Structure 1
């Protein structure tokens, strides 16, 4: 039976079990939180992103979750600098052209600040620069895609939390915690 782990990856943690960075590096990895042999991340989250990371020991399930050809939707809660106007949101909705080509259309809406855990370190606060929260749903997963999309429309990302991937969400999972579930149909 396939294993599937839902992990709430904290800010600053690498989405891998070992750090192949510089010698003497002390960056935290998944091995600090998950001691389950044979599971690997299905996709990645950047070190400075937080939230749902799925791990499995099933290669087909891993491909279904991570491969762009399956178009698994991923929902992000994104705190951005400034207050995007409707034209900026519409640009994200139809797709923007990044250096590696056009993005697929995204579902985007402004949301109230979500009730999330405090981030360590906290997001910088600037009295003279407002910020707001967006919910962004994409069906691809390029390197730093959401961050590059919001920067492209003039609103750099300050905090990024993946809340959902496909049918799985972070609901009830604290940062650094994980839950094993049985994948549907397995």
Structure 2
């Protein structure tokens, strides 16, 4: 069995081919030349961080399937300064257009010591931003971004730090290693 931990850069698709027309976007094949592995789950093009790839279909399903409630932890830079009410809403679960989310674990953190994003996030001189550590146990489309927006704090940058016990560690964007 092969399991790869990959630090997916911003603006890279979580697939090996670009099905767009024309096919010009960066994909996993620009970074990983290892036949037979496939992503276990997804990470949006505008998100960064840990993506697991494996050649084991059962492990892939276990990682990606929300029934197993594998925790996924994100570092989320949000616009504004979330107050206790916003954080409590995330902890209870928020209502999205496709139903309520499960409760999240969330805390305000200092800016993590990570690589700069290219291009950088948009900065508004008169609007502060904060970093959160947010852990969810489901994986709806763009869920973290929709959750922070639902409590009034749009996501500016989203970095997945861990999936279960696997973490990014010291991987730089575009790098991968075997687990």
Give the TM-score of the pair, scaled to structure 1.
0.95
Aligned match of 2:113? 115
Aligned match of 2:78? 80
**3-state secondary structure, aligned to 1:162:** strand
CA distance in 1, matches of 2:107, 2:173: 25
Write the mapping of 1:8-157 to structure 2, written as runs, cut at 5 A.
8-22=7-21, 24-157=22-155
CA distance in 2, matches of 1:13, 1:79: 19
Aligned match of 1:7? 6
CA distance in 1, matches of 2:140, 2:20: 21
Give the TM-score of the pair, scaled to structure 2.
0.99
Aligned match of 1:184? none
> 1:84 deviation in Å?
0.5
CA distance in 1, matches of 2:99, 2:33: 38
Give the paired residue count: 179
> 1:163 deviation in Å?
0.2
**3-state secondary structure, aligned to 1:136:** strand
**3-state secondary structure, aligned to 1:60:** helix
**Cα RMSD between the aligned structures?**
0.5
Q: For residues 94-121 of structure 1, what are the alpha-carbon distances to aligned partners after superposition, in whole Å with 9 as ceiling and x for unaligned?
A: 0001011110000000000100100000
Give unmatched runs, 5+ long, in structure 1.
182-186
> 1:172 deviation in Å?
1.2
> 1:126 deviation in Å?
1.0
CA distance in 2, matches of 1:12, 1:175: 11
CA distance in 1, matches of 2:39, 2:94: 28
> 1:25 deviation in Å?
3.0
> 1:147 deviation in Å?
0.1
CA distance in 2, matches of 1:132, 1:158: 10
